[in-house]
Amino acid sequence: MRVEAIQTVKAPAAIGPYSQAIRANGFVFVSGQIPIDPETGEIASGGFSDQARRSLENVKQILIASGAGLDKVIAVDVFITDIAQFAAFNKVYEEYFSVHKPARAVVEVKALPRGVMVEVKCIAVASAA
């Protein structure tokens, strides 16, 4: 089995000992993405929706770098620090997944890295190499 790390400057560098994504065995596993702007290294300014959009944009850019795309996503896991933001997350999420609707879980967590409000990770089918 071939395992390949995916890296792009269009998403923030990993803030720990992990890869942005791994392509293996026909799948792309995207690590949890928090709302860091890859150009500045800063947390997305604004509120929850801005953070959700930046996190999803980071996921999208990593998928593009892997040769896949949002239409190849089969499962999404979302971590938010306030479940009251569920509807706000759905509104932003529909900007990225309007027609194609992968399996998804959204869970409330006590805290996330760097004090952000949202983190998103996913699994996608890899495009044929």
| Entry pTM | 0.95
Averaged pLDDT for residues 97-121 = 97
User: What average pLDDT does this structure show over 120-124?
Assistant: 98
As a whole number, the mean pLDDT across the chain is 95
pLDDT of residue 128: 58
Burial class of residue 106 in the structure, from the number of CB atoms within 10 Å of its CB (0-12 exposed, 13-18 middle, 19+ buried):
middle
* Segments forming the whole domain that contains residue 103: 3-125
CATH number at residue 73: 3.30.1330.40
Domain tally for the chain? 1
Q: What angle do CA 124, 126, 127 make, to 5 degrees?
A: 130
Tokens 């190849």, residue? Answer: 72
pLDDT one-digit tens code per residue, 74-83: 999 999 999 9
